[in-house]
């Protein structure tokens, strides 16, 4: 909700808070809010995902992607995840029905089409993504992903999608997630039911935050990287 999250304590507005899922540790819970809310809002609110739809998650092993695979399955979709060879087993283990290894195949040229594509990578042109959509399909570029310069990355793709969308039968819907406790409550229900679980690649103590950011910056994390804070300090304060 604000800068300064790498700290032993932080001041947060009450309306932004929700109770930690009872079946998660503090470290696991820390991996949920930002990416979990982005996946939930992207699929449910922007994508209007429906049972039986064919959904493709590009970047399925990352923070948002790993939640998106599980949430799409929770909504009854048939899910295809796109990831590298080393992450195929992970993506299958969290519920994907099919996995495409991008080091071997390009999902935009396989002749397969999807009702909804949730993109967390931004490594294809808009025309490529559209080719992998059904005639009435929906493409959702995640605002937190897609490299390049400012105008050449997400913003460039979002603008192109907005310009093209009125003239095609497909729906091209850029989105940006927003905070709030309501969606955290929804995620808590999914987590406590065993339907969704955070994926954690590595944990680092607070004094190794710079190392954690360096590892994250390499761009190959599986799920989330978490900064840990001494548990006894948290419990002593009654938080």
Q: Is 33-172 a CATH 1.10.3720.10 domain?
A: no
Question: Residue 229, CB half-sphere, CA atoms under 13 Å: how many?
Answer: 15
**225 and 36 Cβ atoms separated by less than 8 Å:** no
Q: Where are the domains positioned within the chain?
A: 33-172
Q: Which pLDDT belongs to residue 197? A: 97
- pTM of the predicted protein model: 0.87
Q: Which pLDDT belongs to residue 159? A: 61
- In order along its 239 residues, the chain shows pLDDT tens digits of 566 778 888 888 888 889 999 999 999 999 999 999 999 999 999 999 999 999 999 999 999 999 999 999 999 999 999 999 999 999 999 999 999 999 999 999 999 999 999 999 988 888 899 999 999 999 998 865 433 333 445 555 666 665 565 546 688 877 778 877 999 999 999 999 999 999 999 999 999 999 999 999 998 899 999 999 886 555 555 55
Find the radius of gyration of the CA atoms of the chain. Answer: 18
**79 and 57 Cβ atoms separated by less than 8 Å:** yes
Q: Is 179 helix (H, G, I), strand (E, B) or coil?
A: coil
**110 and 39 Cβ atoms separated by less than 8 Å:** no
**197 and 74 Cβ atoms separated by less than 8 Å:** no
What backbone torsions phi and psi does residue 68 show, to the nearest 5 degrees?
A: -60, -40
- Taking 3-state DSSP, the helix, strand and coil percentages for the chain, each rounded to the nearest 5, stand at 40, 20, 40
């Amino acid at each position: 909700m604000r800068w300064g999250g790498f700290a032993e304590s932080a001041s947060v507005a009450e309306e932004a808070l929700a109770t930690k899922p009872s079946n998660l540790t503090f470290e696991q819970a820390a991996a949920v809010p930002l990416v979990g809310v982005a996946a939930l809002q992207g699929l449910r609110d922007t994508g209007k995902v429906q049972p039986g739809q064919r959904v493709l998650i590009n970047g399925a092993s990352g923070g948002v992607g790993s939640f998106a695979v599980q949430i799409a399955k929770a909504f009854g979709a048939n899910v295809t995840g796109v990831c590298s060879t080393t992450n195929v087993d992970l993506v299958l283990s969290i519920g994907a029905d099919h996995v495409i290894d991008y080091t071997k195949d390009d999902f935009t040229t396989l002749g397969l089409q999807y009702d909804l594509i949730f993109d967390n990578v931004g490594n294809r042109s808009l025309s490529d993504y559209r080719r992998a959509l059904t005639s009435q399909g929906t493409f959702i570029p995640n605002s937190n992903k897609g490299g390049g310069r400012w105008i050449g990355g997400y913003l460039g793709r979002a603008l192109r999608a907005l310009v093209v969308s009125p003239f095609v039968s497909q729906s091209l819907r850029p989105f940006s997630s927003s905070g709030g406790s309501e969606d955290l409550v929804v995620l808590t229900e999914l987590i406590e039911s065993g339907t969704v679980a955070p994926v954690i690649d590595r944990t680092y103590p607070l004094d190794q935050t710079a190392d954690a950011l360096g590892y994250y910056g390499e761009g190959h994390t599986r799920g989330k990287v978490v900064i840990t804070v001494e548990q006894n300090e948290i419990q002593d304060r009654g938080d």
